[in-house]
Amino acid sequence: MKHFRIGQKVKVNPRNDNENYNPFRNKVLVVVGITKNKEEHLAYDEGMAPEWLYDLKTIDGQEVGFALYDYELEGAKE
């Protein structure tokens, strides 16, 4: 499984059909935080292990109001 790193540019995976992600779907996002287990973040779902959970911002600094797992993201170029 490929994980992302802080500062890396990503996008919402186009195969992800969650409508809540639509405002950010075609935007380049930046990883600003990484959670690997429930001890690091209460919202982490242990059933998702070994997926990591990522806090994100847009390129212009807007916080994304939710965190996404590895499978919900893909690498992006600016």
> Which one-letter DSSP state was computed for residue 25?
T
User: Structure pTM?
Assistant: 0.93
Q: Is 44:35 a contact under the CB 8 Å cutoff?
A: yes
Neighbour tally for 29: CB within 10 Å: 22
Amino acid 8: pLDDT: 97
Question: What is the band of 42 on the pLDDT scale with cuts at 50, 70, 90?
Answer: confident
What are the structural domain ranges in the chain?
9-75
15 Cβ neighbours under 8 A, 6+ residues apart? none
Mean pLDDT over residues 47-71, rounded?
A: 96
78, pLDDT greater than 70? no
Strands (E), the chain: 9-12, 29-35, 53-58, 68-69, 73-75
